[in-house]
Structure 1
Amino acid sequence: MADMIHPFYEQHRDAMEAAMRDRLDLAEAMLRERAQLTDIDGIRQEVMDEFDIVLTQTPYVGGAASRMSDFFMRLIGFMAISRALRRHDVPLPVIGEIERETYKAQLLTTPEAERLAAGDQFMSPENQVLLREQAAKSVSASHQAEFPEDFVYDFVEPGPHDSFEFGINYKACGFCKFAARHGDKEILPNICGLDFDAYATRGIHLERTLTLAGGASHCNFRFSRLRLG
């Protein structure tokens, strides 16, 4: 059973694979110019083969009932890209640059109005209620027992002198657990770097000075609206 894809991810597999192919299209010029790779078709196949492996390794954390399932589905494919490029001795900083620029380009294919609407929804009072509920659930003993590979986090209210609207402290990270289990710790910081563009393209400013991947006790996400224009 170790090589089986969980039914939840199997249900979304076509969309996830299509996103991976789009990323590879967007990354092609950078793979040639920055990574100095010439057999791009071979790299594509290598990445997609690795993605098949990654999908079997991706932990189930509650499916549609958990907001963190979407994080895994959107970002876990970068583990496959990183693994494949490391086998070709591409330096880690170069991999990080390629992945971040590729992800930003992919995010920007969504119309601006749609992206900003998603950002408004994320920052909305209604979503903050949901975040509080899911944060409380994530730290419960029953949830951690059922989904030990999930994220564990607290919702953070701003103090009277804070400039952020709300925050999240991630005390345990699903990607960190994944990386520790599968030997991906060296590529983990590149995954962390994707967060800034994921929020900025939706009109949200993310401030983060601590990460679990960097050895801190938690990741301190602080969110506020970008002042556009």
Structure 2
Amino acid sequence: MEAAMRHRLDLAEPMLRERAHLSDIDGIKREVMDELEIVLTQMPYVGGAASRMSEVFIRLTGFMATSRVLRRHGVPLPVIRDIEQRTHKAQLLTKPEAERLAAGRQFMSPENQALLREQAARSTTESHQAEFPEDFVYDFVAPGPDDSFEFGINYRACGFCKFAGRHGDKDILPNICGLDFDAYATRGILLERTQTLAGGASHCNFRFSRLPSEQGD
């Protein structure tokens, strides 16, 4: 994780100078790595390897740490968003295309959809919510006759929203939500989403389908 974080900061360096107008880049990098350690201690336990959302929490910790540090240095949120999104996509694209597309096909596979359906059902139970109150709560959405997506997920409670609310990071949330589109697109998946909990909606409506280049596979 630390190696990936350092790599992302290296990718961000030109924009930290040109867009954020920061000069002590080495100092910024040290601050971010220190903040990452803090964020990791703050992250809740939501079931470890048995929960798919554990990986989501871990993957997004670095963005939370970077955003906190840049915000403290007076960088405007739109600039932070641009830096985070551009470096996120650049880092994703360092993986071989075949590897990324294979991961996308696995995500869209019937087997993974069955797992998502199972974990979604578990997330809504009183026993799970009592054991992991900081976890995500979500429903699996099957397409109707007139729908063009393959499947969807409605997040009714967001672990990151809970986390951000507890630690004063609500203003960072929309930036982090925006990272989802490239995360899926670089794996050959089209994400359509028109609302988020962070934006004040009742749920986040994720809808997934294959990008045209992947539909024939």
TM category, shorter:
over 0.9
Matched, 1:119 2:104: yes
- Give the Cα separation in 2 of the matches to 1:197 and 1:173: 20
Superposed counterparts of 1:151-162, under 5 Å: 151-162=136-147
Structure 1 residue runs of 4 or more that deviate by more than 2 Å after TM superposition: none
Once the two structures are TM-superposed, the CA of residue 18 in structure 1 deviates from its matched residue by 1.2
CA apart distance, 1:76: 1.6
- Aligned ranges for residues 1-229 of structure 1 at < 5 Å? 16-228=1-213
What amino acid is aligned across from residue 192 of structure 1 in structure 2?
C
Q: TM-score, normalised by structure 2?
A: 0.97
Partners in 1 of 2:48 and 2:33 — Cα distance?
Answer: 23
1:63-88 per-residue CA deviation (whole Å, 9 max, x = no partner) reads 10000011011112111100000011
CA distance in 1, matches of 2:150, 2:61: 28
Query: What is the deviation of 1:196?
Result: 0.2
Counterpart-to-counterpart distance in 1, 2:61 and 2:207 = 23
TM-score under structure 1 length normalisation:
0.92
Gaps of 5+ in 1: 1-15
* Count of residue pairs brought into register by the alignment: 214
Give the whole-Å Cα distance in 2 for the aligned partners of 1:97 and 1:109: 19
The amino acid across from 2:138 in the alignment is Y
DSSP 3-state at the match of 2:152: strand
In 2, the alpha carbon distance for the partners of 1:19 and 1:176 equals 24
Cα RMSD (Å): 0.8
**Distance (Å, rounded) in 1 between the aligned partners of 2:10 and 2:156:** 35
Contiguous gaps of at least 5 residues in structure 2: none
Post-superposition offset of 1:133: 0.2
Shift of 1:228: 2.1
Identity %: 82
Question: What is aligned with 1:7?
Answer: none
| Shift in Å, 1:111 | 0.3
- What letter corresponds to residue 166 of structure 1 in structure 2? F
Question: How many angstroms apart in 2 are the aligned matches of 1:47 and 1:224?
Answer: 35
